[in-house]
Amino acid sequence: MNQVSFIGEYMNNPEWTEITLKESYARWQDMVAWGVEFYKYDDGEYVWWPPRPPEMLAKFPMQSIRMVQRKHAEVCRSQATKTGVNILDRVMIADLLKQDGKVVGAIGFSIESHDLYIIKAKATIMSAGASAFKPNGTPLHVITGDGEAMAYRVGAEITGKEWNDCHPSRAEFPAWQWSPRKNLSTSKKDDFGGLPSKVNAEGDLFADGQSVTLYIEDVHEADAGRAPVYWQFGSGTADYHDLVAGPEGLPRNQLDLDAEQEGKVRMVVGSSLGMSVHNTEGIWPINTKCATSIPGLYAAGDSLGARPAGARYPNMGFSTAYCSATGTRAGVAAAEYALQTKKPIVNEEEQMRVKKILYAPIERQGGFTPGWVTQILQNTMMPYWVLYVKHGERLQATLKQIEFMRDRIVPKLTAKDAHELRLAHETKNMILGAEMKLRASLFRTESRGTHYREDYPLRDDPDWLAWVKIKEEQGEMKLHKEPIPEKWWPDLSKSYEERYPLRFPRE
């Protein structure tokens, strides 16, 4: 609990942190009973991640075990089917249906045939992941913030857009992310490896791999003109496996061989462009049952902005724990709500309204392709000086671009087939997400965690011991400050340096 608050710079909601930490244990037991596998060492003990030496574990005790990649999805799908869940494959849900102030279902289309799907529901759980701008590589390239955008359009509140996830890519091939092909090394139990240390172009060590940082130091090295930056590893260590090894534990290509020989890889931030600290961002819940401000709409997983983490992501695996805990909570609460609710009768007018929006890109004769618009959006938002090293003037300038795209480009998005229709809706949602990120970044007039503003370079207690909520009001995006209860504040009698020992790179 203390580690999360400290690293998250007091922007977490400790009630949800506790729910995540406590309830994920029961969810892990569920998954093991269903057949989900977790990595173990050869002697049968679980692989705890990230590997850390004992002296660091004493200060930062949080570690997680990791599911064997992909198999968990098959197991969970099978378990859902066994319990009678009807799964619609290859269907994009594009919008929620709302009637008499309540969410009464959703509307979507087949990405193969563009056939219409209208789902009428007593209760709906939004669980469509986090928000990003289709960044490079696996798995974040699939993230476009659709769930958040759908919820926003029916009047739900959104939070946490000013924070950043700062995952880097391999500079030589930016679609690399976290080695999707590799498996964890399970043979070197005592090889802590730690996190990679980092050096800049001048050969200076700027992160030792053993100390916790705000995880934005790479960007500041680039901003200071000391790029490229390199991550160093020891051959055979866990970080070596993360950075260069393939599924058999060996380098995969010449670039990997070169990296292995040099003991370092060139990294560049951007593989999570547009993503906030997941589970700090998302749809604002009004209670611990995952209900939103819109009756009939619940949220779970990375779509739910319950803020168990704060202004910086606390530990690998934390979000999986949160997703499993909130999935169960939302499922139970939505079922209880459905039991007390009559089957909705969705009027024809609402169905026609949403259907018209749904198919507009494919019925348009001319306009802009979603592929091109997405590329322009990425080029607008990707430079480090927009979202990573922020300044009010640059945020305003970028917002002008995004507003133009919102008003003049989105209404002219085209689609030649059902595949592109999906891309068109994703693109529309990403532009909405970009506007949220820029406005939230302008609104929070301080620096904290992964939100760094050159024009407001310090944390501002107690004024900004607050969360930011975004909501559509009369067609406009409005932002509000939600004060954090004083019981969760840091000790304000301590000095600034004592409250915030993690320094911004130039602080």
Partner 1 sequence: MAIERIDPKLCNGCGICVNSCMLDVIRMDEENEKATIRYPEDCMMCYFCEQDCPEDAITISEAKNSPLVVSWG
Give the residue with the Cβ less far from partner 1, 259 or 294. Answer: 259
Contact between 171 and partner 1 per CB under 8 A: no
Structure-token match 């990649």, residue found: 69
Angstrom distance (rounded) from CA 127 to CA 118: 18
67 binds partner 1 (CB under 8 A): no
Compute φ and ψ for 320, nearest 5 degrees. Answer: -65, -40
DSSP 56: H
Among 44, 70, 407, 487, binds partner 1 (CB under 8 A): 70
Rounded-to-integer distance, Cα 436 and Cα 479, Å: 9
- Could you tell me the smallest distance in angstroms from the CB atom of residue 304 to partner 1? 22
Element (H or E) spanning 393, and its range? helix 392-404
At its nearest, how many Å lie between partner 1 and the CB of residue 297?
Answer: 25
By CB under 8 A, residue 173 contacts partner 1: yes
Best CA proximity match to 68, nearest among 292, 319, 320 = 320
Count CA atoms closer than 13 A to 430's CA, side-chain side.
Answer: 29
What is 103-139 written as a DSSP string? EEEEEEEETTT--EEEEE-SSEEE---------SSTT
255 lies in the binding site for partner 1 (CB under 8 A): yes
* Stretch touching partner 1 by CB under 8 A, among 37-45, 237-245, 374-382, 400-408: 374-382
User: For partner 1, which residue of 80, 211, 332, 372 counts as binding (CB under 8 A)?
Assistant: 372
180 binds partner 1 per the rule CB under 8 A: yes
Interaction between residue 78 and partner 1 (CB under 8 A): no
Q: What is the nearest approach in angstroms of partner 1 to the Cβ of residue 419?
A: 5
Rule CB under 8 A: say whether 176 interacts with partner 1: yes
483 binds partner 1 (CB under 8 A): no
| DSSP state letter for 141 | G
Supply the minimum distance, in Å, between the C-beta of residue 21 and partner 1.
30
Q: Does 61 bind partner 1 (CB under 8 A)?
A: no
Give least dist CB 339 to partner 1, A. 34
Binding test (CB under 8 A) with partner 1, winner from 114, 422, 451, 453:
422
**Does the footprint of partner 1 cover residue 369 (CB under 8 A)?**
yes
User: Would you count residue 351 as binding partner 1 (CB under 8 A)?
Assistant: no
Handedness of CA 33, 38, 42, 43 (dihedral sign): negative
- Residues with Cβ < 8 Å from 39, sequence gap 6 or more? 46, 47, 65, 66, 67, 68, 183, 184, 186
Cis amide prior to 228 (ω within 30 degrees): yes
Residue 132 within binding range of partner 1, rule CB under 8 A: no
State the Cα–Cα distance between residues 255 and 261, nearest whole angstrom. Answer: 10
Give the N- to C-terminal CA distance of the chain in Å, as an integer: 26
Asked whether position 253 contacts partner 1 by CB under 8 A, the answer is yes
Based on the shown chain and the rule CB under 8 A, indicate whether residue 419 belongs to the binding site for partner 1.
yes
Select from 77-85, 236-244, 370-378, 443-451 the region that touches partner 1 (CB under 8 A). 370-378
- Closest approach of partner 1 to the CB of residue 86, in Å: 17
The span from the CA of 372 to the CA of 417, in Å, is 16
Structure tokens at 145: 């913030």
Residue 112 in contact with partner 1, rule: CB under 8 A: yes
- Range 348-352 contact pairs with CB under 8 angstroms and sequence separation of 24 or more: 350/97, 350/98, 350/99, 351/97, 351/107, 351/118
Two structure tokens written together for 85: 């869940």
Q: Is the dihedral of CA 444, 163, 436, 293 positive or negative?
A: negative
Site string for partner 1, 138-167 (x = CB under 8 A): xx-xx-------------------------
Q: Does residue 252 bind partner 1 (CB under 8 A)? A: yes
Residue closer to partner 1 by CB (options 176, 240) is 176
Q: Give min distance, CB of 458 to partner 1, in A.
A: 37
Stretch that binds partner 1, among 32-40, 335-343, 368-376, 468-476 (CB under 8 A): 368-376
Task: Among 181, 356, 408, 416, indicate the residue that binds partner 1 (CB under 8 A).
Answer: 181
Give the relative orientation of helices 418-443 and 348-363 as an angle to the nearest 10 degrees: 100
The residue from 76, 376, 477, 479 that contacts partner 1 (CB under 8 A) is 376
Q: How far is the CB of 253 from partner 1 (least distance, A)?
A: 6
C-alpha dist (Å) from residue 338 to 47, 61, 122 = 40, 40, 5
| Shortest spacing between CB 467 and partner 1, in angstroms | 32
Q: Judged by CB under 8 A, does residue 379 bind partner 1? A: yes
Residues that bind partner 1 (CB under 8 A): 70, 89-90, 111-112, 136-139, 141-142, 173-176, 180-181, 252-253, 255, 368-369, 371-372, 375-376, 379, 419, 422-423
